[in-house]
Structure 1
């Protein structure tokens, strides 16, 4: 039988994710020569070439991709074993680390933690704010156990490393200055705001979401100002500098201002989809399962 080395398979998996030997070495706190040596040894153990030269870089061979497809099932089973063993040893005690994007922290994560502290006081939850891409890097590297992100920026369901859990379709409302002519108009549609100056980020997920929603309504928004944080965006709206799409989770989480009117749009309501993800197999652990259950219950209330 072929000798399978889990540590070397993890190095191969990281190379597949990071793309270069140097980046792999940095992620695993190894030297590039050590990474190359370990992968060379793995190729000898398996009896197939795993890497081939591509200019100054290397790429995985078809055999390496085949190995990784089977390795993902092994990693998932090991996650299940860790989860089951941890549950056996700790019962309701334990530690679950959650990485979440900014608006999810006050709207979803904090209420979930409060529920868990009452129902399962021995379960410790540590929260880390992180953007979508960073959250999945932290999840893949084992630095967090649950990652909250937007579905549009999460790995696809075909990614065998993770299990995804849909949480919420978060509606996008429009923020208008309190004295705006359209602030009290009945049946306000997104298309009615096509001639307004808009406030949204210069790049990143929120910029893409705003552009996609407006384009679906038939216009390209004129970006008058650029900001990434809700405090800055709503401050500019309050000052009459423009209008903005704001996720309802942000206002549920406390991002409100007295001089801003939030209007629910009629017609096709734009939404963003929020998902949680765990390393495949980890969802069967008692602690991670309780955290996912609490997040689902809070999301149902918001929905």
Structure 2
């Protein structure tokens, strides 16, 4: 029987996800030479070639992909074993590291932490703010236990590493200066604002969300100004420099800015939580997920109102 070394298999798995030896070394806090040496040793232990040259880079062989296809179930079972041991040893106590995108922290994570302090004071939550896509990288690297992100930034539901939990369909409202001709209109659609200068980031998920929402309404938004922080965006809206889409759950609100709901076809962003496959069985992680769902329930109701 071949000798299976979990540490080396994790290195191979990370190489598949990161693409290069250098990126793998950075993710695992190793040197590139150490990564290469460990994978050479693993290939010798298994008796099959795992890497092949592709120009100046390497790629996984068919044998390497076959190995990983079988070991995914092992990694999942080990996550379940870790979760079961934690539940056995600590009951409902434990620490859960949560990575969350900026607007989710005040809207969902903080209320969930407050509720847990009252209901399960032995469950400790450590929060790490991260951009939506980065949250999954942190989860895959084992640096957080639960990622709160946007469905648009999530890996495929078929990704064997994660279990996804839908939380909230968050409507997008439009921010207008108070003297805008449409600020008091009886009904407002995105199409009514097709000729306006729009304010959103030059790249990233919010840029993509704004562009997709406007394109779904039949026009390509003219980016009058680029900003990623809500304080800057709403200050420019208040000054009459343009209009912007703002998620309903965003903590940022500003006097001097009129927030208008859009019609029945209003755009939404979908908020999801994710854990590594198998880790949802952990008592502490399950409590945090339960608290997030409880917070998201009323938020979803307010969004539908």
TM-score by length of 1: 0.97
Return the alpha-carbon distance in structure 2 between the equivalents of residues 201 and 24 of structure 1.
30
CA shift at 1:31, angstroms?
Answer: 2.1
| Aligned positions, number | 300
Partner of 2:122: 122
Partner of 2:236: 236
Partner of 1:52: 52
CA RMSD of aligned residues (A): 1.0
Partner of 1:219: 219
1:290 lines up with 2:287 in the alignment: yes
Return the alpha-carbon distance in structure 2 between the equivalents of residues 71 and 20 of structure 1.
20
Return the alpha-carbon distance in structure 2 between the equivalents of residues 32 and 218 of structure 1.
48
Partner of 1:193: 193
Map 1:229-268 onto structure 2 (within 5 A): 229-250=229-250, 253=251, 255-268=252-265
269, 290, 294: which is aligned to 1:272? 269
The secondary structure found in structure 2 opposite 1:290 is helix
Deviations 1:263-283 (A, max 9, x none): 110131101111111111000
Partner of 2:68: 68
Return the alpha-carbon distance in structure 2 between the equivalents of residues 58 and 67 of structure 1.
17
CA shift at 1:58, angstroms?
Answer: 0.4
CA shift at 1:195, angstroms?
Answer: 1.1
CA shift at 1:42, angstroms?
Answer: 1.2
Return the alpha-carbon distance in structure 1 between the equivalents of residues 253 and 22 of structure 2.
45
CA shift at 1:133, angstroms?
Answer: 2.4
Return the alpha-carbon distance in structure 1 between the equivalents of residues 167 and 114 of structure 2.
18
The secondary structure found in structure 1 opposite 2:79 is helix
Deviations 1:60-93 (A, max 9, x none): 0111111111111111110110011001111121
CA shift at 1:155, angstroms?
Answer: 0.9
Return the alpha-carbon distance in structure 2 between the equivalents of residues 266 and 165 of structure 1.
27
Q: Which runs of 5+ in 1 are unaligned?
A: none
TM-score by length of 2: 0.96
Return the alpha-carbon distance in structure 2 between the equivalents of residues 70 and 267 of structure 1.
47
1:134 lines up with 2:134 in the alignment: yes
